[in-house]
Structure 1
């Protein structure tokens, strides 16, 4: 069954929320509240929260589009009542973004959702602070001053209750500036995800489960999965753990930035020896390709890892004249055994590689002749 389009005014608010927010909201299950209705007027909204998503239903009324939408929250959050508050037996709106609702303003839905999300965060912090767990009360009291901290009380049928912390790290470092001429539109972030089991009375506190998470673009230049977390020592708290972690992370982030600069200088050093590269990654400097022309012409591909120059480039030679039976150019296996020192100047690195390619030329040509479909 095809999905019916929302009324134009409702559609403009949904589109604005999906395209203008720095948070990656997701729209799903767009549907109509009336089986014979001409328009969809409700949907499920996935809201990024605490390194995961929570789901709320947003309910417009296509017959009365000027009216502000209703929101249905998760059954687990039955005590979350952000829209109304009591006043001498009466109830009225507490949220300014709903009091000033205007269906003709495309940004209005996003303003409401952002305000609700903030109230939901306050609600979760309050729930955690009220738990009968002295360790968690202490942890949240020492972390509340961190800008961007998020917490979430987790429910699961197969394990005890837990509390998840999403702790922003390195807030003093502009991560977007790691890359020269940065193409990233979103602000890059690194978080420590810490999941604490709720401790029963008279039980010894267990260590939290720890994991580093970063925005997807940052992974291109910084291997977050390779970071070794400091050991969590029994009896310690986050206030003790975080400084060592952030010091280590900062050093590795700076090294990642330095690696980009070193890779750029290496690629620039290719031109005087091999000629101008026919292709190169000018932003992240992770790859380059040069053409070696002559009676036997071939390409040399350079793959540079984030560990450059400690880790040498991976070379692949690709013939311009020899092809497999499937029509693909014949390439050599990855080459890593050439002379290399991370302490050499880029010009010396390139010269040594050029000499190595010259030594490998006849061997590669023979390999191509033996494996070519034209032989």
Structure 2
């Protein structure tokens, strides 16, 4: 994204928004609205909401840089009218715009946060107006749950649906990971989607369910590995969530404990491979060792899956002496077919991998020599 072509006064606000937002906002595109200046003074923001993104265009004017921006919402939100007077100035976008200070880099973020809060309330009213008893009951029992979001989606070619994004767990996942590298709080949500307008059915179908996590959390574990409890006939979210949260909590605790096992394994590898050249110090998912077989020296890259030791590491050998025509070091294919049992002691795992690497080094040396002759 060509941020360097954004006027400095706008770039300061955009950079502040991207680095200080409590959730991950992205810039989809930038363009210029002026025929006289080449600066990009307009951009589209992708703002997370209800486990999806809403697109808002931020329209600055490079010819009037001290003026506040305009905000354009999606065509599907034509009834969302947030720019009205409010008794609470701290929650009023109108107050923010009328008191705009272009030298304050935090102003754009404040405006977006205010608008997003109003948009959440707007979607809540839309969902509340849906003629569906199940949805009304879910709202009455779940609305007090902190952080829940809901939205109504409809279109010409798709049926009307109500989506709930329900945050799980009260504990901070960030605090559970030693030396946590995440700037933003990692979260897990349950997405619940109710189809609307199918009153002819004798028995309402179960909603569609899906666990969704923030992207960075995949370094620790994958929510796709969690088996969702069965949604029984006549169930509601208040009944469903306790068992699910218990399952998720146990999965996180296990994932955190596996960090320690991976760390012990990497430490055990040093007994046979020597000190690693580099290793992932937080999640212990990667480690690289320098190995020599006679005069042939090469690197061994270990990639440890989050399910280790149930799943074995994958290995990649990389020569430190052979390069292809593009100047890239010769590498082996990813190797995962070697003797392995998750029931072995860590020392047995390390020694058997070492024996495999020694045996495989001759084949890899031949691959390297063949690469030089091409």
CA distance in 1, matches of 2:288, 2:4: 49
CA spacing shift, 1:261–1:57, aligned 2, 3 Å: same
Secondary structure at the counterpart of residue 227 of structure 2 = coil
Q: 1:305 to 1:63 in 2, by over 3 A?
A: closer
Equivalent in 179, 188, 191 of residue 190 of structure 1: 188
> What is the match of residue 125 of structure 2?
126
Q: Structure 1 residues 275 and 142, CA, compared in 2 at 3 Å: closer, same or farther?
A: same
Residue equivalent to 2:341: 340
SS in 2 for 1:167: strand
Gaps of 5+ in 2: none
The aligned residue for residue 258 of structure 1 is 257
User: What does residue 176 of structure 1 align with?
Assistant: 174
TM-score by length of 2: 0.82
Structure 1 residue aligned with 2:144: 145
Q: Give the corresponding residue for 2:32.
A: 31
The CA distance in 2 between the partners of 1:225 and 1:199, in whole Å, is 30
Question: What SS does the aligned partner of 2:263 have?
Answer: helix
Alpha-carbon offset, residue 85 of structure 1:
4.7
Alignment of 1:186-335 (within 5 A): 186-201=184-199, 203=201, 204-295=203-294, 297-298=296-297, 299-316=299-316, 329=330, 331=332, 334-335=335-336
Of the structure 1 ranges 143-152 and 94-103, higher mean CA displacement relative to structure 2 is found in: 94-103
Structure 1 stretch displaced more, 126-135 or 304-313: 304-313
Q: Distance in 2 between matches of 1:211 and 1:56?
A: 26
Per the TM alignment, residue 268 of structure 1 is displaced from its structure 2 partner at its CA by 1.0
Task: Output the CA distance in 2 between the equivalents of 1:319 and 1:39.
Answer: 47
Answer whether contact 1:48 1:54 (CA < 8 A) is retained: yes
Q: Choose 191-200 or 5-14, whichever is displaced more.
A: 5-14
Secondary structure at the residue paired with 2:152? Answer: strand
Question: How big is the alpha-carbon RMSD for the aligned residues of Structure 1 and Structure 2?
Answer: 3.4
Q: In structure 1, the residue corresponding to 2:151 is in which secondary structure?
A: strand
Bigger Cα displacement from structure 2, 321-330 vs 230-239: 321-330
Query: Does the CA contact (< 8 Å) of 1:318 and 1:332 recur in 2?
Result: no
2:362 corresponding residue in structure 1: 365
Kept in 1: contact 2:178–2:282 (CA 8 A): yes
Cα deviation, residue 104, structure 1: 2.8
The answer to whether the 8 A contact 1:165-1:193 is kept is yes
- Is the 2:273–2:290 contact (alpha carbons within 8 Å) kept by the matching residues of 1? yes
Q: Secondary structure at 2:290's aligned position in 1?
A: strand
**CA separation in 2, counterparts of 1:238 and 1:363?**
54
CA contact (8 A) 1:24 1:47 kept: yes
The question of whether the paired residues in 2 share the 8 Å contact of 1:324 and 1:330 is answered with: no
Structure 1 residues 307-350: Cα deviation after superposition (integer angstroms, max 9, x where no partner): 11222333455666778899854647725442534362x33432
C-alpha displacement of 1:277: 1.9
Deviation of residue 40 (structure 1)?
A: 5.5
1:158 is the counterpart of 2:187? no
Kept in 1: contact 2:312–2:336 (CA 8 A): no
Change (3 A) 1:371 1:196: same
Asked if the contact 2:318/2:329 (under 8 Å) is kept, the reply is no
TM normalised by structure 1 equals: 0.82
The structural deviation recorded for 1:16 is 2.6
Distance 2:4 2:310 in 1: 57
Shift in Å, 1:202: 5.1
Distance 1:278 1:294 in 2: 17
Which position in structure 2 is the counterpart of 1:90? none
CA distance in 1, matches of 2:363, 2:104: 69
Which residue does the alignment assign to 1:167? 166
Equivalent position of 1:44 in the other structure: 44
Larger Rg: 1
Between Structure 1 and Structure 2, how many residues are aligned?
Answer: 363
1:210 Cα deviation after fit: 1.7
